[in-house]
Amino acid sequence: MLAVLALAAQAPAAWATVSGPDQNLQVRHYAMTIGRDGVKRETTFSERVYRRNDQVWTERLVESESADGHDHSDDHSGHSHPDAGSSPMWVRRQADGALDARLIERHQRRSIKVDSQYYGNIGFNGNWGSTFFLSDPQSLKSMRMVGALKDGVQQYESKRGDLTVRVSWDVKGQYPRRVESLDAHGKTRRETLVSVIEAPKMLPWKMLAGYTEIDYSDLLD
């Protein structure tokens, strides 16, 4: 999840005990590549992220979802697999630092608990720092600070080979307002823009009453 922002692989144990302020965020992802075939390929998608103390809800915005949040398409899909890409992901940090990660399938009204051995299958890196803060604050320490704090934002930059990464970090809000990575030849560029949105009337994880709980492994055939 949010792989471009997961700049460090692991957060130290000490960091696992730290939380940031609650946030309601909209995250817009943009990626561009220009191939050697001369074709420019661009993709964009957006997610909403709600974080409270020890839990984070990340949900891609999908226009085809009906207003009531139910996809009424055919529910008979045989031995189906969860749609890990566009299903909301709910991650909670337990008292011992362990994570409880779930995919939520609204149309089937089920909560799918994902054991850590399957994180790779669903594209979750298991890193609380990059999940909660979008950019793992630990990774910022390995980047160069650029200029002084301005309007509550600290700029960071790193270069590795042809690749440059820039992060605009909201110090008080504890989230990146913008992350950009680009190569020196202008052939690839990624940008993530994060903005604060209104809090939902009801937090999404409080609307799961009656949902069946299953394990991700139940769906492997």
Binding site for another protein (CB under 8 A): 1-3, 31, 33-37, 39, 41, 43, 45, 60, 74-76, 78-79, 81-87, 89, 115, 117-118, 120-124, 160-161, 163, 187-188, 212, 214-221
User: Which of 70, 62, 64, 152 lies closest to 107 in space, CA to CA?
Assistant: 70
CB of 153 to another protein, least distance (A): 26
CB of 206 to another protein, least distance (A): 23
Interatomic CA distance for residues 171 and 173, integer angstroms: 6
CB of 182 to another protein, least distance (A): 12
3-state helix, strand, coil in the chain (%, to 5): 15, 40, 45
**Residue whose CB is less far from another protein, 70 or 149:** 70
CB of 171 to another protein, least distance (A): 27
**Residue whose CB is less far from another protein, 94 or 117:** 117
Q: State whether residue 118 is helix, strand or coil.
A: helix
Q: What region does 53 belong to: left with phi over 0, alpha with psi -120 to 50, or beta? A: left
Interatomic CA distance for residues 132 and 199, integer angstroms: 16
**Residue whose CB is less far from another protein, 16 or 84:** 84
